[in-house]
């Protein structure tokens, strides 16, 4: 059985998906939860969702959204280590500095 907290988190993620993908993935999620999935949930979801992916395409929007659900389940089941949290925070800070630097160089070029 899926915990209510996990169910609510995944529903929040699905709500952010654009239509028609959001409604399609919500239907797939409902069918999967009706099967009473076994732990680990992210592995069980990945196997189930693979049936709905277009195998001939390397990239499709549906595949991205299905993988997003698997990633959310993995994060819920396997919490990040301290060093992983620190690495994520450092990456966010580095990207902010990068964007600031890019904006600064664009402004300098425009001033020339």
* pLDDT averaged per 10 residues, the chain (length 112): 86 91 91 89 91 81 90 87 91 95 93 83
Name the pTM for this structure: 0.70
Say yes or no: 74 and 94 in one domain.
Answer: no
Same-domain check for residues 30 and 46 = yes
Specify whether 72 is located in the same domain as 86. Answer: no
Dist. CA 59–CA 67, nearest whole Å:
11
The whole-angstrom separation of Cα 107 and Cα 102 is 9
Residues 56 and 11 in one domain: yes
Domain of 16, in residue numbers: 1-79
Is 63 exposed, middle or buried, given 0-12, 13-18 or 19+ CB atoms closer than 10 A?
Answer: middle
pLDDT score, position 16: 92
Are residues 75 and 85 located together in one domain of the fold? no
**48 and 97 together in one domain:** no
Q: Are residues 66 and 95 in the same domain?
A: no
CA dihedral 1, 4, 63, 50 (to 10 degrees): 0
- Count up the domains in the chain and report the number: 2
């Amino acid at each position: 059985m899926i915990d209510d907290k996990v169910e609510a988190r995944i529903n929040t993620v699905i709500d952010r998906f654009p239509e028609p993908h959001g409604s399609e993935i919500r239907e797939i999620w409902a069918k999967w939860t009706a099967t009473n999935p076994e732990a680990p949930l992210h592995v069980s979801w990945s196997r189930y969702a693979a049936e709905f992916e277009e195998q001939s395409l390397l990239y499709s929007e549906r595949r991205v959204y299905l993988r997003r659900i698997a990633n959310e389940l993995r994060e819920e089941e396997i919490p990040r280590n301290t060093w992983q949290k620190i690495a994520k925070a450092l990456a966010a800070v580095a990207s902010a500095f990068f964007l600031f630097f890019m904006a600064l160089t664009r402004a300098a070029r425009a001033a020339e």
